[in-house]
Amino acid sequence: MHTTKHRIVVLGAGYTGMFAAIRLARRTRRMDVAIALVNPSDRFTERLRMHQVAAGQELGDHRIPELLKGTGIEFVQGWATGIDPDARQVTVDGERTLPYDTLVYALGSATDTSLVPGATEHAYTLNDPRTNHQLSLRLAELAASGGRVTVAGGGLTGIEAATEIAESHPGLNVTLVSRSAPGGMMGEKARGYLNRALDRLRITVRAGASVAKVLPAGVELADGEVVASDLVLWTTGVKVPPLAADSGIATDGRGLISVDATLRSTSYPEIHAVGDAAAVRLPWGQIHGTCQSGLPTAQYTADAIALRLRGKQVKPFRFGYFHQPVSLGRKDAVIQFTGADDSPRRFFLSGRAAVAYKDFVSSSPLKTYRFTARGVYLTTFLSKGGRATR
């Protein structure tokens, strides 16, 4: 007697969604399972490298159907516009309905420009490869005339964007505006190296400054001072799509799906959330949305679903941070090694050694996807974390 296929739908084909789908296909290849991957674009976007695109560098053009070739996964191009968790179905583009038995929710986050007036209208972000290309053309124009660029946000994204732009366009005057000291999450020595790199690239740092408004020709700080600029790049604050909350799935105050110890929705256990779509709490605290933690959640979830389909028990998700890799342009970097809770340890790398290290651990995941599709299982680079994660 033929049994009905177990239908798995994966929403989002970013780093985590793509990895979860491909690993699921290999883990369930001898089962009666059908997998569909939903994404608005057929191009695979390497979000970690958007600052390189903005600086004028070309990335490879990787198409999702090509990456999925041979896996048996159905690619559905379109926007997920609705989820009915009671009927267990997803609506794509307001028309097509995809039923599911298991749903993997991998719709990631984007830079939030709603936090400050004028940011949406007047600032660029690194959210979209198409606008990033426009940004790169504008930066090249400004560099020829000694233009002024302000990068708002002193987190890792802001630091990498500012240094990449300053190195690629030495004719620009780049200012980095940050509420706290850039690299404040690092140890003293690593932070000192970072500051020297910013000085070397002639980046003006406005630490302790808060942007109150983005203007057509600059930013207004909280104290009323106006920093004149020909272009503003907004890198601070994140938001997630409202789809989960709008669909009645339990979320936290930021819209992240509330999950149990095995990364299943606390309100609908057939829904799994991965990456920065999930509110994952561990004994030392809540993980934050980075590739370092996102890929392990995808790997874990694919394996957990396959185990459950075989009737086996699943152990809770465990994870601990290991490092904070930060590129400072193409020729320099600093790596702060950390405890499981992401607090800085004494050891760090800098210079050429750090560049080589970052190239190894933060290189494109495409090789991992291809190996996984062929059945060679590569474990994502993560720390089991020691006592802090238990």
Q: Please tell me the total count of domains within the chain.
A: 2
Ranges of residues in the chain whose predicted pLDDT is under 50: 1-2, 376-378, 380-390
Predicted local distance difference test score (pLDDT) of residue 205: 97
Q: Which of 235, 264, 299 is the last residue of a domain?
A: 235
Per the structure, the complete domain to which residue 189 belongs is given by: 112-235
Is residue 299 domain-resident?
A: yes
Q: Could you tell me if 99 and 191 lie in one domain?
A: no
* CATH code where residue 61 lies: 3.50.50.60
Q: What is the pTM of this model?
A: 0.89
Q: What would the two tokens of residue 52 be? A: 């390189």
| Domain shared by 303 and 228, yes or no | no
Q: Is residue 171 part of a domain?
A: yes
Same domain? 126 vs 88: no
Judge if 24 and 92 occupy the same domain.
yes
Is 73 inside any structural domain? yes
264 and 180 in a common domain: no
Q: 137 lies in a domain?
A: yes
Question: Is residue 251 assigned to a domain?
Answer: yes
- Distance between CA 150 and CA 67 in Å, rounded? 37
Q: Say whether both 60 and 72 belong to one domain.
A: yes
Q: pLDDT digits over 209-247, tens only?
A: 999 999 999 999 999 999 999 999 999 988 999 999 999
Q: What pLDDT score was predicted for residue 366?
A: 57
Is residue 362 included in any domain, yes or no?
no
Residue 231, Cα to own-chain centre: how many angstroms?
24
Residues 160, 214, single domain; the answer is yes
**Per-residue confidence (pLDDT) for residue 390, from 0 to 100:** 33
281 and 245 inside one domain: yes
pLDDT of residue 48: 63
Using the 3D structure, point to which of 320, 352, 375 is the last residue of a domain. 320
Give the residue ranges of DSSP H helices in the chain.
15-27, 50-54, 64-67, 119-122, 129-144, 156-168, 188-200, 243-246, 291-309, 351-361, 366-373
Tell me whether residue 264 is in a domain.
yes
- Quick check: is 335 in a domain? no
- The predicted structure's pLDDT at residue 118: 97
Q: pLDDT at position 360, please?
A: 81
Q: Give the residue among 177, 190, 185 at the shortest CA–CA distance from 234.
A: 177
Same domain, 29 and 72: yes
CA distance 275 to 109: 9
Q: Are residues 226 and 119 in the same domain?
A: yes
Instruction: Give the domain-ending residue among 181, 200, 235.
Output: 235
Q: Which of 104, 12, 22 is nearest to 305 (CA)?
A: 104
Residues 121 and 197 in one domain: yes
Distance (Å, rounded) from C-alpha 321 to C-alpha 85? 33
The verdict on 130 and 219 lying in the same domain is yes
